Amino acid sequence: MKPWVKEKLARIEELYPPERIQKSKKRWHSIWSGKTPCDRYPFAYLPRSFNYYDDVFTKEEGLEKYLDEFILRGAIDDDFIPAFFPGCRTATIPNMFGAEEVVQGNDHACKKIIFAPEDIDNLPEPSMAPGTIAHEWLDMQKYYMEETEGRIPIHPADMQGPLDICGQLWGYDNILAAPYDEEPEYYDKLMSKATAAYIMFWKAQRDLLGDCFVGTHLFGWDYVPPNNGASLSADSMAMISPGFFDEYYKPYLNEIGNALGSLAVHSCGNFSAVIKDLCAIEHVKAVNAGQMSIEEMLSAGLDSKMVVIAQDTVMNAEQVFGLVRKHNLLPQITFHGLWDQAHPEAMHKQMQEWASISG
């Protein structure tokens, strides 16, 4: 272990002693078990020094930046548990099929490689070989684990779900029209390949990391208990109808759930049309909406038995926790704005009061 890593780890373990970690884990375990915590609802603050999803680092840069982030925020006792997050590159799984990554600003998309249905027949088997993005993520995770001797947990990379993988490979207009254009067999063939690749890469990360694995990318700073299934981004849900969802998307989510256990599902945009159907899937245990409020999700049919993964401002925290208590919700909430406060310690004390079970 490098001397500077050893020094930073010692400081992190001083800031996050076992009793602090265990209290937070107990709160998170309660939420993910469908129970109300004993003392207060758990919550975490947005990372302080960089953007987990937009900033792309080499493994060497990431090691130092994450350790410094853990130290920087350690004085505030929220329910954050230090863990590495590799990052977000939406071309990860398309690249396993040979699609070339295209970087535009913070967007890591890919070039289409399917131009006719018959091209699906010629797709190579998904690969995590050297030179692929998947291999880079695995190499980064292995590096973090080895450099810290397994003392810091590690998340999976942000992984797109099957329909969004296929949207990149073929174009969203084509994949969404395929079931209705007398090409349902090609739709199923491509979606099945994407589903298998998703399961393959998730298992590879889980198997590599073992006890260090924290099975969620929603969010990279959040904790979930072990053996709690998988997380999946499904931004395409904002573009589909309940009928399309039930017939042409749900079967593949069920396949992932059968292979990996429960699912936490994210979508950007307004996917209120399919929230009720999503919550009805046996394996779905948590829902995250990128641009919908908790109130909007409830109005759309959010099941209160779902873990609600959300973000809001510290100034709205009193109302948020009031809503949680009113509807008996299971919250996993990130609050932003604390670091902008003139006196963050005082604001944090108020947050803890708002989050108390008694209110």
Residue 109 has a pLDDT of 83
Over the stretch 188-223, which tens digit does the pLDDT of each residue have?
999 999 999 999 999 999 999 999 999 999 999 999
Bridging pattern class, strands 107-110 and 101-104:
antiparallel
CA atoms within 13 A on the CB side of 278: 31
Percent of the chain at pLDDT > 90 equals: 94
Residue 282 has a pLDDT of 93
Per DSSP, what are the bridge partners of residue 101? 110
Identify the DSSP state of 247. I
Task: State which amino acid sits at residue 348.
Answer: H
Percent of the chain at pLDDT > 70 equals: 99
Measured CA to CA, the distance from residue 307 to residue 220 in angstroms comes to: 16
pLDDT at residue 233 is higher than 80: yes
DSSP secondary structure, 121-149, as one string = GGPPPP---TTSHHHHHHHHHHHHHHHTT
* Greatest C-alpha distance within the chain: 63
Contact by Cβ (8 Å): 85, 52: yes
pTM given for the model: 0.95
CA atoms within 13 A on the CB side of 324: 29
Which of 342-354 are b and which e, b meaning 16 or more Cβ less than 10 Å from the residue's Cβ?
Answer: eebeebbeebeeb
Asked if the bond preceding 219 is cis, omega within 30° of 0, the reply is yes
Region 71-80 average pLDDT: 97
pLDDT at residue 4 is higher than 90: yes
Instruction: Identify the CA nearest to 229 among candidates 218, 237, 245, 240.
Output: 218
Residue 108 has a pLDDT of 74
Quickly state the pLDDT bin for 358 (edges 50, 70, 90).
confident
Residue 334 has a pLDDT of 97
CA atoms within 13 A on the CB side of 347: 17
Identify the helix (H) or strand (E) that includes residue 207. Answer: helix 184-209
pLDDT at residue 176 is higher than 80: yes
Residue 139 has a pLDDT of 98
Quickly state the pLDDT bin for 230 (edges 50, 70, 90).
very high
Length of the chain: 359
Over the stretch 87-97, which tens digit does the pLDDT of each residue have?
999 999 999 99
Over the stretch 292-320, which tens digit does the pLDDT of each residue have?
999 999 999 999 999 999 999 999 999 99
Identify the DSSP state of 17. -
Q: Tokens 């849900």 label which residue?
A: 237
CA atoms within 13 A on the CB side of 77: 16
Quickly state the pLDDT bin for 165 (edges 50, 70, 90).
very high
Contact by Cβ (8 Å): 263, 257: yes
Identify the helix (H) or strand (E) that includes residue 286. Answer: strand 284-289
pLDDT at residue 106 is higher than 90: no
Quickly state the pLDDT bin for 157 (edges 50, 70, 90).
very high
Over the stretch 13-22, which tens digit does the pLDDT of each residue have?
999 999 999 9
Q: Residue 40 phi/psi, 5° resolution?
A: -150, 160
Instruction: Identify the CA nearest to 333 among candidates 320, 346, 352.
Output: 320
Task: State which amino acid sits at residue 327.
Answer: H
Measured CA to CA, the distance from residue 346 to residue 79 in angstroms comes to: 17
Region 310-334 average pLDDT: 96
Residue 114 has a pLDDT of 97
Over the stretch 242-269, which tens digit does the pLDDT of each residue have?
999 999 999 999 999 999 999 999 999 9
List of domains in the chain: 3-355 (3.20.20.210)
